Structure 1
């Protein structure tokens, strides 16, 4: 079980203890000191579980770029996805690594953040996603960096939908000699 799943499980168990304890307290009509202390500790532990969950979302370790960009290790994140941060045209962009995606797919928000003019894009392509068919606009990213590994003129598409996360698809992953999984790590090697 991952630390994320353990924290969630602990939270739900504590929530059950707090609610169950409150019900017992009310139903018994005689809330003793021990029960109040137990409930207080349950609330404290639930708060700690919430804090841990928030920390995992905000500050959990991201990828490690090793050997001058020749090896990138990406730990599994929330929901079992692998999240990678790249710098596109000087702007940090968070990606979900998606081996089911054909190409690099940018959300409209990320495309705008890296300096692409959305009004100038021609949404002439079509992509089939889990949410149905969406229009796409082909673009070229001048500089795509993951740590010290820098690629230039990377082809991508901008998705004309409410896509929140940009996707790092196979067109970019094929640049690596090896893409593998080692436990809860995704390894990219050049």
Structure 2
């Protein structure tokens, strides 16, 4: 196929033949570059997918109630969970003293913002503000389940995502970062 195409181009003169050689050299160079940088391109694709919300980082459930979450391209851990059987994503945050829901997530879970009392002072990366105390009936990360969990709801516009903070983390047996994985273990009963 390649020789037939090159022969056809050569009939049109040396300029056409040279153009054909250039196109093929460029095409093969591009394929080679993609092959050589496939690992980096895979990371970029994963980062774009995560940013666009097209998928979650890999989550693996191990033996004995162990859950491992893969680190995102930006160094954070986005933990898929269920709050009262509804899927919610949380940013793993050891610096957050509580589990904190954004106002949008709280509304999606059925909390009515107008009935909440925003009276708890909090400090975030966006500054200081007030949050409302709530109780989550059930928060589950894989097989790890916590019932009657104290949490906070941030005022509208105060928080973009949800934080998986200490009120959840302190109920685990342990959590640690191993390389690119966050490993959480359920508390022993």
**TM-score, length basis structure 2:** 0.72
Between 36-45 and 134-143, report the one with greater CA deviation: 36-45
Select the residue among 130, 147, 151 that pairs with 1:152. 147
Between 156-165 and 81-90, report the one with greater CA deviation: 156-165
Unaligned runs of 5+ in 1: 1-30
Question: What residue is the counterpart of 2:137 in the other structure?
Answer: 142
Over the aligned positions, Cα root-mean-square deviation in angstroms equals 2.8
Map 1:9-88 → 2, pairs under 5 A: 32-37=19-24, 42=30, 45=34, 49=41, 52-53=45-46, 56-57=49-50, 58-59=54-55, 61-69=57-65, 71-88=66-83
Relative to structure 1, the CA distance from residue 82 to residue 152 in structure 2 (aligned partners, 3 Å threshold; closer, same or farther) is same
Instruction: Kindly indicate whether residue 178 of structure 2 is the aligned counterpart of residue 182 of structure 1.
Output: yes
Unaligned runs of 5+ in 2: 1-17
Relative to structure 1, the CA distance from residue 53 to residue 61 in structure 2 (aligned partners, 3 Å threshold; closer, same or farther) is closer
**TM-score, length basis structure 1:** 0.71
Structure-2 separation of matches of 1:91 and 1:150:
13
**How many residues are matched?**
158
> Which is richer in helix?
1
Map 1:82-121 → 2, pairs under 5 A: 82-121=77-116
